[in-house]
Structures are given as structure tokens and as C-alpha cells.
Homo-oligomer: A and B are copies of this chain.
Amino acid sequence: MDLKTMAEAEYDKCMEDLVDSDQHYQSLPKIVSELVSTCHGGHCHDHISPVPLPSRQAMVKIIDLCREVLFPGYFGDAPIDQVNLEYYLGQRMTRLYRLISNQISHAVRHDCFRYEKHCLECERLGREAGLRFLKSLPGLRTTLAKDIMAAFEGDPASGSVDEIIFSYPGQYAMTVYRLAHILRKMAIPILPRMMTEYAHSHTGIDIHPGAEIGESFFIDHGTGVVIGESTNIGHRVRIYQGVTLGALSLPPGSGRSMRNLKRHPTIEDDVIIYSGATILGGETVIGARSVIGGNVWLTESVPADTKVFLKTPELVYKGGAEPRGPEEES
């Protein structure tokens, strides 16, 4: 009796018991059979294969380990001192190496499997790419420190640098984006987007791992920010909640043909974009040191050193509101 048969026997036994105690259980095997049959038609999505997919759980652990390594002493479970620092980092880097190599292997093998490319060396590729990823972490610490200083200088409400590291959603989203971007540049599939969408779910900030973002970038508040795949952003740029750097509308059905084109705007150095502004199109360039006002909608380029604001919209004021009736609850 092999493992499979044992499992099946256990399942059958379990079903029998249940049917005795609850007549509704009698219907379960039929529903399960129906589910199984939907896995054979090719119309639904399932991954019935011994080849493992990347794992969301492992991806989250990778992000957490990276944050412990990039900001030692902030997110781990133990205090760090000069004596145990190297041990602390070494232990985490070893775990990180194993996890990331493994997940990269799965991601790479996934593409081989799906698209019938030849790939005999997923394991080796995973270890090599994993190592390159780790090698980039010391330099990334400097880059992230510049993002943090940009937040501290740019936000009068920031109480301390530690408050930013602990709690600013923009800082979290940028840390994850910069990690994902490293993997994306190595052409690793699936994982980078899983990482930035995880950050998206925690922050409301949606940065595609393909975007290029310069140093000292600060996103204030952040909810609703969208930064598209082929966006280019210079140094010392600051943006606020609800800013979209997006693509122009597509004719129906053109989705696939637009892949790999420059569809999103270019933002040069020292630009500020206030909340709710929307800037669209691959040929749109916002020149250096320009300021884009709140709610502005732009599909054309703006020269350097320009301020663009909405013309003060006409508001309609109605004074002396009707007296409110007895149905009012407050």
C-alpha cells in the first residue's frame, strides 16, 4: 500500500464517518469530483505539477530578512551590539541566501516549464542570482539612507529618523521596490512583482518593479500612488498621495502589443508633484525643478523650472442652508 493509497483510504474513511453523522456530507464527494473535473478542461487555473511555484510565504520572509539586514537593530527580535553584530548579520545573510536562491530557482524553472524554453540549470542560476542580490545589499543601505533623509527634510510632521524607519509607508514601499528592482534587472520572473504588490497591499503605494527611480526619493502619505512599469524618475523627486504616473489609454485588445514599450512618463531631477496629480504617456517629460500642482492632469511635456497648477476652479457657494428638519439625528 503506497502513500497515495493510504491517503485515499484515510480520505474515504473520513468521508464515511462524516456521512453517518450529517446527511449533507453525502454531497461532498460529488462536489469534489466536479472540482477535479474542472481541472481537466483547461479553462480554469491550477498548477498540478511536481515543479514548485514561487511561494508567497517565502517571499514575505525574504522581505523581512532583508529589512533586518538593511536596518540592523530595528526589526529583529534581539538587541545588537558591536560584539554580536557580525554574527547577527552573518546568520541572517546565510538564511537569506538559501531562501532567495531557492525562490529564484522556482521562478526561473517556472518560466522554463510554462514556455518550453530550455533550462537545465535552474539551481545554479538561483544560486548565482541569489549571490548577486546579496552583493547589492551593502550599497543599498546608502541609497535607503538618502531616501530616509529626504523624508526627514521634506515632512514637517516627522518626529525622528527612527519614526520614519519604523512607520512611514513610503519608506516601506521604497525599500521593497528597490529590492524587487534588483531582481527585475536580473530578469527574474514573477518574484519582483509579488514583492511590490505585497508592499502595495500594506501601503496603498503601487510601484512596478520595472520603474527606474533615482536617489533621495520621498513619497508622503502615499495611499493611491501608482508608478508604472516604464516610468523614469530622477534624483531628489518628491510626490504625494494619489499621484499617478501612468500610461495613456489603450485601444481594446492592444494590451499585449504594448508590452515592452515606453508607456509611462519621465520625471527629471528635483521635481515636486502634489497630491492627486495624474501624468500620463511615454513621451511626457516633466523638466527638472518643475512643480506640478494638486489634481493637475497632464499628458504633455513641461519644460524645466515650470510651475503647473489648475486654474482656480469655479466654486459654487450657497449660503444660508435650508434649516434642517426634525429627522436630523444629531
Contact = CB atoms under 8 A, between A and B. Distances in A.
Contacts of A202: 201
A241 B241 contact: no
Given A93-B31, A294-B278, A44 B142 contact: yes
Given A35-B69, A53-B73, A321-B291, A166 B194 contact: yes
A4 B81 CA distance: 11
Interface in A215-251: 216, 221, 223-224, 226, 228-229, 235-236, 241-242, 244, 246-247, 249-251
Interface residues of A, number: 171
B162 A110 contact: yes
Given A242-B242, A310-B315, A321-B305, A28 B72 contact: no
Nearest to A69: B35
Given A297-B294, A324-B252, A91 B258 contact: no
A288 B72 CA distance: 50
Contact of A97 (B25, B47, B90, B296): B25
10 contacts: A18-B94, A27-B131, A27-B135, A33-B86, A39-B85, A169-B197, A200-B223, A206-B241, A242-B242, A308-B316
